[in-house]
Amino acid sequence: MVRRCGSGDQLVALDLVQDGFVASAAPLQGTLLRKQVPQKAEIHSEGTLSKAEIDEILQMASDPGLLVPLEVKHWSRQQLELYVLSGGVLRPKGCSLPDERLLANATMTQEQIVSALAQASEWITSADALLIGSGAGMGVDSGLGTFRGGHKGVWDGLEAVGLAYEDICQPKWFQEEAGEPRLAWGFWNHCHVAYQESRPHDGYSTLRRLGQRCPLGFFSFTSNIDSHWIASGMSPERVLEVHGAVRWLQCSKPCCPDVWKAPNDLGLAEDGESHRVTGLLPLCPKCQAVARPNVQMFGSDGDFSRARRASQNVRYDAWLKRMSERPDRESLRLVVLEVGCGLTVPTVRKEMEKVLQIFPQARLVRVNPENPGLAPELVNRGP
């Protein structure tokens, strides 16, 4: 197969396999058009494993649900192979994931589960205060995918452009000079639409009612960025969205710490082949730079505006402080209810365990079918 080159009669061979040409809309003219294929976003750098290399090694795992830590791309190939083939037992020093062999209640019988549920119910209904910690697993019953585990599924475009979730969730993609803001918004617009169209399940209102019965109140500490707690009717005064929320925007530079609410419809459409968006990108009203979600992303996100989260944090800290200063603090019946919080990004788990250290009589109810284990020092704090 050949094509004409320039205005002369020179013929140049086409490599149809390599270049992926297809017949044009006007085949009688003897022309071909280059086929559009999803453009891969290359982020591989020296000293790191690429997504393709990691996926290849993970195929060797006997357990398809084997968790790997975020820092895995900085391991050597041999380190990852040993980790995978040993089921996570042989691991590099400093691995951020806990060794589940050292955790209590990592596996439970049906009888133990029934007993634990009965004990948890008794604690919650008689609680003086309720702290609800929630992660991605909380959104599964609303039809939202988690980032890892059995309900994994965030955006189909990830596979097409050759990126992992933690790769696309980096602020660098919004930079107009060195990044790809239309690819970034391909992912984040998908999230924005998914969160708008989904509805908080009944569990949100059930937990809110349980919290309202507590004499000393309740609070929601969540790593979820879907705003479902507030959408479910929870007072914004009682919610801390520790990783931010997609419904709020900020400048990507940033030129200022301002945060503003995103419109329900951003006016963006995703191209089905390139997975980049078309339409006018959201802009900062002050400097006209590309706007981004007010979400704390991976990759040392120093550009994340903490203004909105800071005000939430003040209210959360004040609630804990009031309880910690009570004369009956030692006997306070605080229940820490943790729902759907994973191990890979353990922000919520660590906060819940920190609160347990402040209140000696506090109880921990961990709801997580995939990672229910408790650290040995917390065994007596759970059901």
What's the CATH code, domain 110-381? 3.40.50.1220
pLDDT of residue 294: 98
Region of residue 251 (left: phi > 0; alpha: psi -120 to 50; beta: else): beta
Ligand-binding site membership of 284 (annotated)? yes
Q: Which residue bears the tokens 């791309």?
A: 73
Of 244, 237, 222, 238, nearest to 134 (Cα)? 222
8 Å CB contact between 150 and 239 = no
Region of residue 48 (left: phi > 0; alpha: psi -120 to 50; beta: else): beta
Pairing of strands 11-13, 269-270: unpaired
- The ranges of the chain with pLDDT < 70 are 1-47, 100, 102, 104, 145-153
Ligand-binding site membership of 287 (annotated)? yes
Alpha-carbon distance of 89 to 207, in angstroms, equals: 37
Domain ranges of the chain: 2-34, 51-97, 110-381
pLDDT of residue 141: 83
Q: How many residues does the chain have?
A: 383
Q: Catalytic residue numbers?
A: 243
- Which spans in the chain are helix H? 16-19, 51-58, 77-85, 110-125, 157-161, 165-168, 181-197, 202-212, 228-231, 307-324, 347-358
Angle at 57 between CA 52 and CA 61, to 5 degrees: 135
Residue type, 129: A
Alpha-carbon distance of 122 to 172, in angstroms, equals: 48
pLDDT of residue 300: 82
Q: State the Cα torsion 292-294-299-300 to the nearest 10°.
A: 130
pLDDT in tens, 123-141: 999 999 999 999 988 988 8
Ligand-binding site membership of 251 (annotated)? yes
pLDDT of residue 187: 94
Ligand-binding site membership of 191 (annotated)? no
pLDDT of residue 145: 62
8 Å CB contact between 108 and 119 = no
